[in-house]
Chains A and B, each alone.
Chain A
Amino acid sequence: MSNNLGSMPLRYRVTIDREQCMECERCIENCSYGVFRRDGDRILINSRKCTACHRCLAYCPRDAIMLEEQPCDYRSHPVWTRATREAIYNQARTGKIILAGMGSVANLPIIFDHLMLDACQVTTPPTDPLREPVELRTYLGKKPSRLDLRRNPDGDIELATELAPNLMVETPVMLGHMSYGAISLNAQISMARAAKETGTFMGTGEGGLHAGLYPYQDRMIVQVASGRFGVNIDYLERGAAIEIKLGQGAKPGIGGHLTGEKVSKDVSRTRMIPQGSDAISPAPHHDIYGIEDLSQLVRSIKEATEWKKPVFAKIAAVNNTAENVAAVARSSVDAVVIDGFRGGTGAAPRVFRDHVGIPIEVAVASADRELRKQGLRNEVSLIACGSIRESADVVKAIALGADAVYIGTAALAAMGCRVCGNCYQGLCPWGIATQRPDLVERLDPDVASKQVANLIHAWTLEITELMGAAGINSIESLRGNRDRLRGYMLDEGLLDVLDVKPVGA
């Protein structure tokens, strides 16, 4: 025995109601983690393998399966929580950095939940979205700081200013960057179809663009990250826009790392690296060692694509986000994406996921304010992401200064993801975070694309209703409109940063 710690208490306990169970074995078929097996006339359970992905529960025809989290108590202690103790046992055993899947689990207050939205009453009546259109269409990219007009030979006035390319989005909800490799091709195709259907866009992540996505390329934002996986001129030309990934909310300041096990034949072709090799994305772009170099990378991409496509840059929300955004806004980019510290990930070191970065709410508010202060707000659109959970979050993010949002985890949940956080195992029974063909097959793009489109459609309807109730008939009038927010139980310092009044004021 290499350690004296023994086994850890079970995380989950799975039970079967033997009265209900008809031994159809769907649980055995569905569980890719191997919780269930048949032994003679009984279905046996190994709860230790359970991830609480709910696949068995979802597909049990008799509701016979029940799952309990943390069935074994530790001595309760407010300082030495279960999580801190178990991390110590893990590291005492291994001596390694702990990696974890999905976003932060730190139990910190969520600012979105302490922001209340406004509605009209008597002094100004609400508008009725049924009758009066509420315009959600928005354009992402540079807006000119002034317009020059000229009279053409026919005597008509026409625009003389050359406009920079913008992305036209029908709803301010876009699908964020999740790479092929981190998620399955069927998951990507499902989201791409949903993006096409709803008039929005989807990010490729740093995994190249699989040929199966070419039919949706005019809805794809192709990513250029520090590993440059899958990046060539063909890739850049296919995308509707190009996004340079400088940072990620779940793990600010560090790179990415797709383990060799996940680099299957098809993934290797799309990333353009050998099968089974680690795909390592360094922490910095090694051709960007300063803010002047960022401008050079942005312009290299614009030159390569003849200035026809918007170029975005994504940064993680950290202490000096406002200054970072203002610097990025001067680098010729068309939009800045800010990823809050609760942002999702397939895998991130636990210590980064739970401790590094700042919330998206404050990052977007301070960035918007700084850009306005410096007279740069028209130079870039702001895209907020990292824990956008519902339509209200979208409205609040826009009122704090965003132009649009990216969703990630919410879109995965729309395809079945139960946020179990075991993406790194590559065994996702929902066919999302896996490359195993039999599991990927479970996710039917015809079905899943409809679910993602439904979610975007539903949120769009809710956003329309919320705006109508507030008497706002276009997204431009909501953007940065902090007067339509009030802070509930937020301290004065935070209200000041957000530039939002307290409730009742």
Chain B
Amino acid sequence: MMVKLVTIDAKGMHYTPLNQQVRRAVEDGADEVVVQNVLGQRFIGDGLKGDATIHVYGVPGGDLAMFMSGPTVIVHGNAEHAPGNTMDAGKVVIHGSAGDAVAHSMRGGKVFIRGNIGYRGGIHMKQYEAQRPILVVGGSAQTFLGEYMAGGLLIVLDLDGAMKARGIGSGIHGGEIIIRGDVDDACLAAGAKKVPLTDEDRRRIAPVIREFAGDFGLDPEPLLNADYTRIVPASARPFAGKYTWE
């Protein structure tokens, strides 16, 4: 079958007409949309449905793939703040680093980032039945990783040996954070606790790590066999003991 490819030159274009062109291309049945010369345009793929693949060349602005439901967005560069914000389904692959609040309130799909992410990555990710969001970070994450996390899977591979996150999982009440290597207890926030990664956990994350390695041309084997720290909620009801009734 012929792949229908549409190329858009974003040079000097405001994000609204750019997003209209992307949306139009997908509605017209494009399988692949290549967006060239992106320079800070926000909201690319925002609210987009379907199963097209969007290739972004350059540096997209904030809220990439926000509310997205289905498509794949591949960024050949860095991304700004909150890619995958409140995303429903689909996949975001970033061949670089991203800013703060990556995958904020994401409820489904996958966000893979080869490089580093900023503060409060994976904040308030949540899950419902089969919808379980996955965020994988190749490099390091900053402080407040997985804050308020209510569901889903967050993996940090720390491939560059510079993991910086402190205050991990503050207010976490669902889901799991898995970090390659050891994590100092002092880096955990109130409400989070470390548990050993079981063989079952390792089997569960193996396909995710293989997929991530495949997307970025990495050898999965050392990652599959590495040591990991698993961080989970100390309680599903972190605030249950805080209140009394009038």
Residue numbers of A with Cβ under 8 A of B are 87, 90-91, 93-94, 96-101, 227-228, 231-234, 236, 257, 259-260, 268-269, 272-274, 276-278, 280, 282, 286-287, 296, 299-300, 303-307, 349-350, 421, 424-425
Contact = CB atoms under 8 A, between A and B. Distances in A.
A300 B128 CA distance: 24
B124 A303 contact: no
Contacts of A303: 15-16, 19, 42-43, 46-47
A286 B103 CA distance: 11
A272 B133 CA distance: 12
A226 B85 CA distance: 12
Contact of B131 (A259, A272, A421): A272
B179 to A, nearest CB: 21
Interface of B: 15-16, 19-20, 23, 42-43, 46-47, 49, 62-63, 66-69, 81-82, 85-86, 88, 101, 104-105, 107, 120, 123-124, 126-129, 131, 147-148, 150-151, 171, 173-174, 236-246
A270 to B, nearest CB: 10
Contacts of B246: 87, 90, 98-101, 350, 421
26 contacts: A97-B242, A98-B246, A228-B107, A232-B67, A233-B69, A236-B47, A259-B237, A269-B128, A272-B107, A272-B126, A273-B151, A274-B127, A277-B174, A278-B239, A280-B173, A280-B238, A282-B148, A286-B147, A287-B85, A300-B63, A303-B19, A303-B43, A304-B46, A304-B47, A304-B66, A349-B243
Contacts of B82: 287
A369 B61 CA distance: 36
A300 B240 contact: no
Contacts of A259: 237, 240
B132 to A, nearest CB: 11
A272 B125 CA distance: 11
Contacts of B237: 259-260, 278
A273 B126 contact: yes
A232 B69 contact: yes
Contacts of A231: 67, 86, 105
Contacts of A268: 128
A146 to B, nearest CB: 22
A93 B19 CA distance: 58
A280 B238 CA distance: 10
Contacts of A91: 244
Residue among A96, A101, A228 having the largest count of chain B Cβ atoms under 10 Å: A228
A147 to B, nearest CB: 22
A299 B245 contact: no
B86 A274 contact: no
B244 A90 contact: yes
A300 B244 contact: no
B173 A236 contact: no
Contacts of B104: 286-287
Contacts of A93: 244
A303 B82 CA distance: 15
A228 B86 contact: yes
Name the 6 nearest CB pairs between A and B, nearest first. A304-B47, A228-B105, A100-B246, A96-B244, A94-B244, A272-B128
A424 B245 contact: yes
B147 A97 contact: no
A287 B239 contact: no
Contact of A300 (B43, B107, B120): B43
B2 to A, nearest CB: 29
A268 B129 CA distance: 10
Nearest to A255: B148
Given A278-B238, A278-B239, 5 more contacts: A228-B105, A232-B86, A232-B88, A257-B239, A287-B85
A504 to B, nearest CB: 43
A276 B120 CA distance: 26
